[in-house]
Amino acid sequence: MKIYLAKLTIICSFIVLAIFCGVGGRKARANSSGPPTGHTGAPGELTCNIAGCHISFPLNSGTGTLTLTGLPANYTANQEINLTVTLNLAGATIFGFELTAIDDQGRQAGTFTITEGGRTQLFSGVIGGNLRRYVMHNFTGSFPNGQGQNSWNFRWTAPATSTGRVTFYVAGNAGNNSGTELGDRIYTRNFSIQPGAAIPTVSTVSAASFQAGGASEAIEALFGTGLAGSTEVATTLPLPTTLGGVQVKVKDGNNIERDAGLFFISAGQINLLVPQGTSTGSATITVLRNGTTVGAGTLEVAAVSPGMFTFSGTGQGLAAANIFRLKADGSQSFEPIGVFNASAGRFDPIPIDLGPASDQVFLIAFGTGFRNNSSLNNVSATIGGTTAEVLFAGATPGLAGLDQGNIRIPRSLIGRGSVDVVFRADGKTANTVQITIK
């Protein structure tokens, strides 16, 4: 094998100088960008051994081994898999490889990502009218990284939808660095992977409003089937990221994956905390049960996504809130705005008495998804259609993901009865909830 910036691969020739290969000094094309595509031995392709270049030995002869590691038995949509090609041959001093992945119709399957930019590269080729992508070594990557062996790492991302069986075809050249095409050995192998069972889709909504969307550090409710083998509630802070063998991973728009804190798990529902630092944009939600993926979906993450809790737990009806009363003499009290009606199985409102004119009465309304508002100046509320001053909108101390809005109740509402409370943060409106004013 020539050493001029090197042929170094499964192909006849390349890089910088014109290289001769084959009996009788046939001249091969020089290719400064790397080896020609289409020499993996895949359907419709050749190998350098078959093409008459490295013909000293039969294909796949000798004691060399060519392997592809990291490939599971099955793939799922958009699954990212880190792979390693390794070529071993005692006495070989220079190595190269080329690999492609195709479906049973000979079409490109999935995508490759270079993870060793200094040692590997990507190229495209067309075989039988089908576009194929190839990952291969570059000049630096041709030099061994062990005694009589070399390996190359890269990533394969599975197709977004199943294309059936995917086969990886790989060819390798273990060379002797003799300066000719003689004495090199060519190896080829193929490895197949089948699509796994379709992963059930899960949906994620605000645990307060039950509306789509979320925000960093917001409480979300995730719905699906077969999510957990038991029903469990977290009892510690910080929240656990594994509960009853269940984990939820959130991969944000920057491709950073984090574990979500878990409040509650059951077969059909998981309540989780969107991890702090999750960027805005579309996030991928993955549910794992004892290490196996049992659900996947997406969540649109915004900087602010306000939702208000209700006593019904549905995002409708009586606000999950209480009253803070400040009297003229400085005395303070907290008062409930609802009472549980055991016979009816619901919370009934307690009419709010605004008291004498000297009393200041504030609604402490609990929600989620608005602690990261840009400014209190960009937070507003109306009660019964009347503008109400918001004195605070942020995190509730000591409670993961829970936010609160402290809203002064206008005295002009005395006698109004049931009224709507509408809360807005950074131009986004939360679900409408109700209170009753005496």
From CA 315, how far away is CA 210, in angstroms rounded?
Answer: 6
pLDDT of residue 33: 43
Asked if 19-195 and 203-302 have one fold, the answer is: yes
Mean pLDDT of 219-225: 97
Pair type for strands 111-114 and 149-157: antiparallel
Indicate yes or no: pTM above 0.85.
no
Specify the pLDDT at position 52: 56
Token reading at 281: 């944009």
Phi then psi for 390, rounded to 5 degrees?
-100, 120
Residue 1 is encoded by which pair of tokens?
């094998």
Cβ 393 vs Cβ 403: under 8 Å? yes
pLDDT of 235 above 70 = yes
19-195: what fold?
Answer: Immunoglobulin-like (2.60.40)
Residue 419 reports pLDDT greater than 80: yes
Distance CA 422, CA 267 (A): 34
pLDDT tens digits, 301-351 = 999 999 999 999 999 999 999 999 999 999 999 999 999 999 999 999 999
d(CA 265, CA 231): 5
The candidate with the shortest Cα–Cα distance to 97, out of 191, 8, 171, 12, is 171
Averaged over 373-381, what is the pLDDT? Answer: 98
Evaluate if residue 28 carries a pLDDT over 90.
no
CA 128 to chain centre: 35
Break the chain into its structural domains and give their ranges.
19-195, 203-302, 307-437
**Domain 307-437: CATH class, spelled out:** mainly beta
How many other C-beta atoms lie within 10 A of the C-beta of residue 345? Answer: 7
Specify the pairing of strand 292-302 against strand 214-215.
parallel
Average pLDDT in the 413-419 region? 98
Q: What is the pLDDT of residue 251?
A: 93
**Whether pLDDT at 136 is above 50:** yes
Rounded average pLDDT over 39-65:
83
Between the alpha carbon of residue 338 and those of residues 210, 311, 347, the distances in Å are 21, 8, 6
Q: Which of 434, 437, 31, 433 is nearest to 210 (CA)?
A: 433
pLDDT value, residue 14: 30
Architecture of the domain whose range is 203-302: Sandwich (2.60)
Place of tokens 């609802």: 338
Whether residue 116 has pLDDT greater than 50 = yes
Contact 187, 87 (CB under 8 A): yes
User: What are residue 220's DSSP bridge partners?
Assistant: 206, 272
Average pLDDT over residues 161-181: 86
Q: What is the pLDDT of residues 70-113, one digit of tens each?
A: 999 899 888 899 999 999 999 999 999 999 999 999 999 999 99
Mean residue pLDDT of the chain comes to 89
